[in-house]
Amino acid sequence: MFVWFTHKRMVIQPNPVINTSPLTSPPPSNGEPRRRRQWMTWMHYHPYVVTFACAANFALAIGSSLSLGVFTEIFMESFGINNTQASLVISILVSLIFGMSPMVLPVIKKFGCRRTLILSGLLASGCHIAASFLKNYVAFLLIIGVFLGVVCSAINICSMLVVPQIFADQKSRQVAFSLANVGAGVGGVLFPFIFETLLQKYSWRQTIFITGAIMLHLVPLAMVFPEHLNYHEDKDKIVEDEAGDSLRKTHRPLWKSATFLLLQPCFFVVQGLTSAFHAFVFPLLHEHGVSFAMAAVVMMIVQAVSIPGRLTPAFTRNLIKVHTFYQFCVYTAMFAASVLIMSVFGAVWLAAVASAVFVGFGMGGMFSIFPTALSDSFHDSQLHVALSISSFTFGVGGFLTPIATGYLIDHTGTYVLPLAAISAVLVSFVLLLLLYRVFCQLCKVVVT
């Protein structure tokens, strides 16, 4: 209500960082100095309000979706389905959140962020409310798995694309991306407790209905978003003009394209390993002799540590001047190596807890840094395409890799070997990216 009130009472003009300057923009129509000061104050704090709204969107859309695993056994009992069918709902939902980004991008470009988010908030609430009345598994799969996945995909990509619009410099973008991504971690920690608390007092259908009411908060949050996507001046052109290097002008797009193509399989395996880890970590630890309660503690450690992991990239770049490309490689290698250690040495309680800390920290850091790594390499007019394609790669990897992992588990009879193999593949991709980066520096080609 506060966001709606300020949006209706303030005279909202185009963002001065993007379209106009606050010193040259026309004052409010009534010409009152007090209204002018209110408008200037709103425009000063508007980017921070939008960043908070992005974090809230991630918490509601992604945090609630990742927490639906709480209902797995309840869905099995209510619909009379097996474990594979119950997990398929969440698998499709999470995959479409990332995989549908290229398809929803034209809608965002045509209708703008604000209208898209308002409609998405209403549809997300409607999907939960409608699902609370369904008694057929196929209909439930379509509503929660498919329709809600597409709606949350629009919320996800809108929240990522708005950050480059409201912040012009890379330092502010990194901080904003980190703060916004904290929302997904906070939602992943809070929603399981919210669901468990509601299930103690209400049925699962009433809990899903209440979740639909919670999703209505997406509508007032959308009021603070800019209407359309506008972009800053081409920073690539500025860098090239200042450098004056014909070789760099000629080959820079080629090297950037090669970097982007090499990142895609890495993104594929990153999301695939993340989804497989969340799907099979409990049976993996159980195979090592860890009790269910201790496995729950390990997962709680992973989710809790991922929050500071998402915040860390905002400070490491400014304090120790580490480039985002190297940061992404370090966080990804930390995540993959920790999953590998947990897969092999999970029977040792100290190793399981220590690896859980590094798994959460690396997972939070790499998901927080990847939008900024793309922002450093692409101009704003190309960034929305790069982000949508990368999100599609995330979605495909998150859908296919758990299926392949389950196939390997069924044929090998163990959870250790498949997860360890995927972790080793991801470490290999990180080493390949680092070798490519070193090769670019030896050739004196700037790819950022």
Pick from 5-14, 26-35, 282-291: least confident: 5-14
Residue 355's nearest CA partner among 421, 302, 429, 281 is 302
Residue range 165-191: average pLDDT? 78
Residue 389 has pLDDT above 70, yes or no: yes
Higher per-residue pLDDT: 363 or 237? 363
Residue 346's nearest CA partner among 300, 302, 282, 401 is 282
**Domains along the chain with CATH numbers:** 1-230 (1.20.1250.20), 231-448 (1.20.1250.20)
pLDDT at 285: 81
Measured CA angle at 350 (ends 348, 354), to 5 deg: 120
Residue 188 has pLDDT above 90, yes or no: no
pLDDT category at 292 given cuts 50, 70, 90 is low
Residue 209 has pLDDT above 90, yes or no: yes
Query: How buried is residue 429: exposed, middle or buried, by Cβ count under 10 Å (0-12/13-18/19+)?
Result: buried
What is the gyration radius of the CA atoms in the chain, in angstroms? Answer: 23
Q: What is the torsion angle, in degrees rounded to the nearest 10, for the CA atoms of residue 78, residue 82, residue 87 and residue 88?
A: -100
pLDDT per residue as tens digits for the range 297-316: 787 788 788 888 887 776 76
Instruction: Indicate yes or no: pTM above 0.75.
Output: no
| Highest mean pLDDT (candidates 1-5, 40-44, 129-133, 406-410) | 129-133
pLDDT at 125: 92
Higher per-residue pLDDT: 154 or 66? 154
Residue range 7-11: average pLDDT? 40
pLDDT category at 410 given cuts 50, 70, 90 is confident
pLDDT category at 130 given cuts 50, 70, 90 is very high
Q: Which amino acid is present at 26?
A: P
73 Cβ contact partners less than 8 Å away, ≥ 6 residues apart: 86
Pick from 69-73, 149-153, 229-233: least confident: 229-233
pLDDT per residue as tens digits for the range 320-341: 566 677 778 888 888 888 888 8
Residue range 394-412: average pLDDT? 80
148 Cβ contact partners less than 8 Å away, ≥ 6 residues apart: 65, 93, 124, 127, 128, 131
pLDDT at 13: 38
Residue 79's nearest CA partner among 212, 205, 198 is 205
Residue 207 has pLDDT above 50, yes or no: yes
> What percent of the chain is modeled with pLDDT above 70?
77
pLDDT per residue as tens digits for the range 32-42: 565 555 555 55
Residue 222 has pLDDT above 80, yes or no: yes
- Residue with tokens 């290229």, as numbered in its chain: 102
pLDDT at 300: 77
| Highest mean pLDDT (candidates 119-123, 180-184, 240-244) | 119-123
